[in-house]
Structure 1
Amino acid sequence: MKSTIGKLYLIPTNLGDDPVWDVLPASIEAVIDIIDDYIVENEKSARRFIKKIHPKKSQQSLQLQVLNKFTESAEKLSFLNACKEGKSIGLLSEAGCPAIADPGSDIVQLAHQQNIQVVPLVGPSSIIMALMGSGMNGQSFAFNGYLPIGKNERKAEIKRLEKLSYDQNQSQLFIETPYRNNKMLEDLCTTLNAQTRVCVACDLTLSSEYIKTFTANEWKQINVNLHKRPAIFIIHKD
């Protein structure tokens, strides 16, 4: 008889400390109820999240494998062994949706290679929510991760993305380390064409959520403190 292969569930998490049920569907509790094996970025925060979702879940029953930028490729190959034994596995991100700007994409790729069914669950993606709230082109867009840190390299990349947005009518999204957010907005204002639109979307889904789109020139007149607030930046030159 052919043995049953477990599934890989991609389980979203909340983006901050606000109540989880404000942003996550109740179906996530049912999934966590049946899964004991997880692939996570941080064991402590993963256990805390699971407890919030399912307080009665036995912490002793949890089997957690840590996936981060230091995880070796050879080690990742064993992460889905439980699926081959008929157990389902949950993949958790630190914030938002697994595999989106997240190391979990490597595990999803392995699942496809090993013919393991991948089940993405509904949850908040800061990238998509920022684009939704920006008023920019949702038909054509690109997420570019982090921009260079060096002053000259960063300026050149900002100008390249601006030109790309104009040539392709494509919104360009990127992020910055939260403590450098204010400097990022300053650099955008001084580097971009005055009429290029800039969206800043930070603290998404939280009570302090802030989403505004202005031209680079208009942003120069606006006083907003983005320090240590998770943010998405979007630019588009029309």
Structure 2
Amino acid sequence: MSGTLYLIPNTLGKRDEADPLAEVIPAGVQQIAAGLDYLVAENAKTARAFLKKLGETTPLARPIQQIEIQELNVNTRADALAALLAPLQAGRDGGLLSEAGVPAVADPGADLVRLAHARGIRVRPLVGPSSILLAVMGSGLNGQSFAFNGYLPVDANERAQRLRELEQRSRKASQTQVFIETPYRNGALLEAMRQHCAGTTLLSVAVDLTLPGETIVTLPLSDWRPERIALHKRPAIFSLLAL
């Protein structure tokens, strides 16, 4: 009988040493994660840091050095995924650990989850912080209909065209459009929206969600100024709704 693939959420950023993990990762999820001896993670170093933090309050089933960690990232070939599931097919439980937030959402783990279903392996998603959902919740924009669009093009002309397309889609369907950017390009993205989208379009920006510096601001683009929120090199979620 195959084991279970647990989808283990991670924190959304580095937390202060005194911050309890239970503020963002429920105790039951911690207990399941602490009992596993096989993990698939985007980065083994990050996974070990998570296990170290976890072990401060929840005893690990094994020392960190004895927990097997295999990496799965954007460079992992599709034909390597089966090997990552081999321990589970042999009856061993395992966990897919996100680099930040929940696994398989804006995350390379989605392909592994799909293959697990194809192989008849039980998949169990666990509760934890999702920056996308938290941003939509805190935005005040349409939470009945929204779409996550990942990263927008880096090229300025292509990015402008994509922004206009998303704004048009939002206006036509009254749908919130959610996207992200590499933190050091946040300012350029904000300026592009101010230039290429209507002033009446609402923009919500959420930064450092669940962290001490958490800030969420929602305004019409006509009222947005760079000084409204410090964006440089801060993880941010952008949500747009055209009226």
**What is the aligned counterpart of 1:198 among 195, 203, 225?**
203
**Residues 1:163 and 2:164 are matched in the alignment:** no
1:82 maps to what in 2?
Answer: 87
Looking at structure 2, the residues matched to 222 and 61 of structure 1 have their Cα atoms a distance apart, in angstroms, of 48
- 8 Å Cα contact 1:165-1:172 kept in structure 2: yes
TM-score by length of 2: 0.94
What amino acid sits opposite 1:22 in the alignment? Answer: E
2:36 matched to 1:31?
no
* Paired residue total: 235
**What is the match of residue 137 of structure 1?**
142
Runs of 4+ off more than 6 Å: none
Instruction: Please report how far the alpha carbon of residue 237 of structure 1 lies from its aligned counterpart in structure 2 after TM superposition.
Output: 0.6
Q: Partners in 2 of 1:45 and 1:176 — Cα distance?
A: 21
Structure 2 distance, partners of 1:140, 1:182, is 27
- Indicate whether 1:182 and 2:183 are aligned: no
CA distance in 1, matches of 2:47, 2:226: 41
State the secondary structure of the residue aligned to 2:193: helix
Corresponding position of 1:210: 215
List runs of 5+ in structure 1 lacking aligned partners.
none
Equivalent residues of 2:207, 2:214 under 8 A apart: yes
**Corresponding residue to 2:156 among 151, 163, 171:** 151
The residue type paired with residue 224 of structure 1 is I
Contact residue 32 and residue 54 of structure 1 kept, 8 A: no
- 2:124 is aligned to 119
Deviation at 1:6, TM superposition (A): 0.3
Matched-pair identity in %: 46
1:42 counterpart residue number: 43
Mapped to 1, the partners of 2:157 and 2:64 lie a distance apart of 49
Measured against aligned partners, the alpha-carbon deviations of 1:21-43 in whole angstroms (never above 9, x if no partner) come to 22110112211232101100111
Residue type matched to 1:234 in 2?
S
The answer to whether 1:94 aligns with 2:103 is no
Aligned equivalent of 2:231: 226
Q: CA RMSD in A?
A: 1.2
Matched residues in 2 for 1:149 and 1:82: separation? 39
Conserved in 2, the CA contact under 8 Å of 1:182 and 1:225?
A: no
